[in-house]
């Protein structure tokens, strides 16, 4: 992404638009911190709920704070009958991100405090979305398989409960932990496109649900969150590790983007990839069997070939896409799962934007026709 001769930073590449205390990529060490804590350490030692609390409150919760936070999240999970029913009326042909976007919009329309932008009201709305969005994603996942929804289980943590709602059972601890690692890694990433979208909407003093609805739309795109789905489709298209070089010849000749590779901020590789790749490797070993081995071989063959031929490293969506497939989720649910996690980062940024708000309204350099008279109507 380049700066044009007239000094325009297309795509806002390299432009610093505000301060943030939520997260940062440290280029020197190629690491990412949430509120000052290395994400690797958080992923190794903490739950997704603790990370959500950290992003929202600036500090990790103590035992009592965590117990209270968990209890409130679990109590908020059930969807109103009207909401659940309305979502089932959306066409089965639409993308699950459309269902999620509609769900956020609907939850806003139903909330009598929608226009209360106070920190307390927005904290309550953020927790509501954290609790309810997995219920929406799971019910939609089942609907597409022709199955009735499974109600949330308040005795289970967020990650376990999601498996329970999708499949009617909770898998081995190893699988749940890999999933939780993905949620922690996906939770927050500074001024990425969807978070910036949420901040733009918030900067007009619109409500939190509107900002999140817009952010879901931004994340859906294949250059952003939609890439985790595209990765799995691409692996399906290639099919066999032996076909990688031939497929890549064709893709590069056609100037196709290789999904799950490249990043606006990282040039030497996404800091989150080693951890997610390790989790995916554990899943492959845990799953066992020739199919998992074939996919793992294809995945690493493509990674090595893209790096060797284009010098481009994988981003988080590359290992996460394969991991979600191995966990048993259908491809169209991958980006909605990203939303279940990123809701924490988005809402932290919405609060931060409101703390020191300035309307986000850049300028454009006009390069259309010079002023001219409107032709007379004949």
Ligand X SMILES: CC(=O)SCCNC(=O)CCNC(=O)[C@H](O)C(C)(C)COP(=O)(O)OP(=O)(O)OC[C@H]1O[C@@H](n2cnc3c(N)ncnc32)[C@H](O)[C@@H]1OP(=O)(O)O
Ligand Y SMILES: O=C([O-])CC(=O)C(=O)O
Binding ligand Y (rule: CB under 6 A), the pick from 57, 72, 264, 286 is: 264
Tokens coding 216: 């879901």
Binding ligand X (rule: CB under 6 A), the pick from 317, 336, 347, 349 is: 317
Binding ligand Y (rule: CB under 6 A), the pick from 8, 66, 76, 265 is: 265
User: Which segments of 199-325 are extended strands (E)?
Assistant: none
- Contact call for residue 189 and ligand Y (CB under 6 A): yes
Least distance in Å: CB of 31 to ligand X?
16
- Contact call for residue 70 and ligand Y (CB under 6 A): no
- Binding-residue pattern over the window 297 to 316 for ligand X, x denoting contact by CB under 6 A: ---------------x--xx
Binding ligand X (rule: CB under 6 A), the pick from 227, 234, 238, 348 is: 227
CA distance 136 to 163: 13
- Helix (H, G, I), strand (E, B), or coil: what is residue 261? strand
CB 186 within 8 A of CB 316: yes
Least distance in Å: CB of 300 to ligand Y?
21
The closest alpha carbon to 276, from 323, 345, 329, belongs to 323
φ and ψ at residue 261, rounded to 5 degrees: -125, 145
317 labelled catalytic: yes
- Helix (H, G, I), strand (E, B), or coil: what is residue 38? strand
Least distance in Å: CB of 195 to ligand X?
11
CA distance 174 to 170: 11
Helix H segments across the chain?
39-45, 48-57, 63-75, 81-88, 96-110, 119-144, 158-167, 173-186, 193-203, 208-220, 227-238, 244-253, 273-287, 289-310, 317-326, 334-355
260 binds, among ligand Y, ligand X, none (CB under 5 to 8 A by kind): ligand X
Binding ligand X (rule: CB under 6 A), the pick from 57, 142, 257, 286 is: 257
- Binding-residue pattern over the window 3 to 32 for ligand Y, x denoting contact by CB under 6 A: ------------------------------
φ and ψ at residue 262, rounded to 5 degrees: 90, 160
Residue owning tokens 């959500």: 52
140 labelled catalytic: no
Least distance in Å: CB of 226 to ligand Y?
12
| Residue 265 or 312 with smaller CB distance to ligand Y | 265
Least distance in Å: CB of 346 to ligand Y?
10
Catalytic residue among 141, 164, 224, 263: 263
CA distance 302 to 28: 27
Catalytic residue among 141, 224, 317, 349: 317
- Contact call for residue 257 and ligand Y (CB under 6 A): no
For the chain, give the number of residues. 378
Residues that bind ligand Y (CB under 6 A): 189, 192, 264-265, 315-316
């Amino acid at each position: 992404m380049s700066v044009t001769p007239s000094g325009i930073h297309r795509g806002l590449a390299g432009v610093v638009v505000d301060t943030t205390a939520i997260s940062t990529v440290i280029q020197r060490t190629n690491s990412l911190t949430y509120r000052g804590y290395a994400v690797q350490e958080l992923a190794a030692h903490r739950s997704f709920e603790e990370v959500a609390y950290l992003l929202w409150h600036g500090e990790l919760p103590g035992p009592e704070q965590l117990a209270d936070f968990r209890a409130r999240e679990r109590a908020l999970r059930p969807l109103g009958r009207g909401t659940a029913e309305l979502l089932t009326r959306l066409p089965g042909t639409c993308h699950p991100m459309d269902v999620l976007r509609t769900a956020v919009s609907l939850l806003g329309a139903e909330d009598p405090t929608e226009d209360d932008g106070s920190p307390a009201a927005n904290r309550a709305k953020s927790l509501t979305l954290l609790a309810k969005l997995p219920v929406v994603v799971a019910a939609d996942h089942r609907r597409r398989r022709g199955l009735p929804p499974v109600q949330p289980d308040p005795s289970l943590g967020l990650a376990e409960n999601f498996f329970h709602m999708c499949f009617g059972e909770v898998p081995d601890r190893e699988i749940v932990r890999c999933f939780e690692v993905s949620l922690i890694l996906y939770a927050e990433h500074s001024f990425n496109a969807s978070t910036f979208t949420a901040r733009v909407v918030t900067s007009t003093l619109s409500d939190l649900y509107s900002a999140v609805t817009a952010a879901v739309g931004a994340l859906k795109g294949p250059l952003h969150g939609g890439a985790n789905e595209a990765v799995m489709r691409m692996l399906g298209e290639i099919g066999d590790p032996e076909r990688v070089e031939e497929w890549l010849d064709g893709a590069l000749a056609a100037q196709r983007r290789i999904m799950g590779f490249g990043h606006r901020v990282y040039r030497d590789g996404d800091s989150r990839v080693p951890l997610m790749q390790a989790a995916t490797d554990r899943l492959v070993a845990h799953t066992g069997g020739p199919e998992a081995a074939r996919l793992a071989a294809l995945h690493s063959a493509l990674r090595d070939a893209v790096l060797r031929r284009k010098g481009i490293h994988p981003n988080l969506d590359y290992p996460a896409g394969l991991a979600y497939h191995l966990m048993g989720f259908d491809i169209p649910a991958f980006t909605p799962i990203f939303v279940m996690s990123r809701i924490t980062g988005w809402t932290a940024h919405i609060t931060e934007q409101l703390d020191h708000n300035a309307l986000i309204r850049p300028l454009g350099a006009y390069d259309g026709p010079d002023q001219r008279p409107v032709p007379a109507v004949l």
